[in-house]
Amino acid sequence: MSSIKPTAAAVASIQAFIKASSVRMSTRSGGTSADLEVTNRGGKGTISTDGLQEKVISIGGYVYVQPGAAYLKHYEGAAAAKTYAGQWLRVSATEGTWAKWASTLNKTYLDKHLEAVIREQIGSVTKGPQTMIGGQAAVPVTDKAHSATFYIAAKGTPFLLKIVGKGFSTTYMSGYDRSVSLVPPTHWINGT
């Protein structure tokens, strides 16, 4: 990786991301954080907003959401918290509030987003000194056109390990090509 040109390194890392069957992503932006496992069929994980947590599973055109009692009480009131805490709600993956998260829970959407970066012919990129990300040697490549820095594995497959920048917040990636079990809950109620 140390001898490869910065643009080629960035393209190789994005192509490795696209070829992977799954990836674990942890992201933080302001008061929102997410720890997700995504595949081309959907994804699952937890999303927290200002410390209020909910579990999510996206598969088969639906998002299944299990909000915590504190989340429900804060956003929907005490009666909703009492009625729905611990239950799974099923909502459309293509309409309403959850459509954005449903796309984030599907690796195909993320692949298209990163392919767009390639199509735009990655702007002026520079390579920085090697650093460590999650115990792995990584080479930072900064793309000034997209105001983002891509941290790329320095050894082995050039997987993206971290992205920092506009439109990405701070996102850590790991667990490439691991098996992810996506099973919708057996009991759910229709959400809105």
- For residue 161, the cross-strand partners are none
Q: Would 1 be classed as within a structural domain?
A: no
**What pLDDT shows up at residue 3?**
58
- The answer to whether residue 108 is domain-embedded is yes
CB 175 within 8 A of CB 45: no
Q: Which residues contact 64 (CB under 8 A, 6 or more apart)?
A: 56, 57, 58, 88, 89, 90, 91, 184, 185, 188
Count how many domains the chain has. Answer: 1
Query: pTM to 2 decimals?
Result: 0.84
* pLDDT in 10s for each residue of the chain, 192 residues: 555 676 777 788 888 988 999 999 998 888 889 999 999 999 999 999 888 999 999 999 899 999 888 988 988 899 988 888 889 999 988 887 778 778 888 888 888 877 776 666 566 778 889 999 989 999 998 877 777 888 999 999 999 999 888 765 888 999 999 999 999 999 999 876
Let me know if residue 159 belongs to a domain: yes
> Does residue 165 fall inside a structural domain?
yes
Q: What pLDDT does 80 receive?
A: 86
Q: Flag whether 137 is in a domain.
A: yes
pLDDT score, position 32: 86
Q: Kindly report the CATH number assigned to the domain that includes residue 36.
A: 2.50.20.20
Is 42 within a domain? Answer: yes
Strands (E), the chain: 22-29, 32-39, 42-49, 52-59, 62-67, 89-92, 125-127, 131-133, 136-143, 148-153, 160-165, 169-174, 189-190
pLDDT at 188: 94
Instruction: Determine the structural domain holding residue 111 and report its residue range.
Output: 6-190
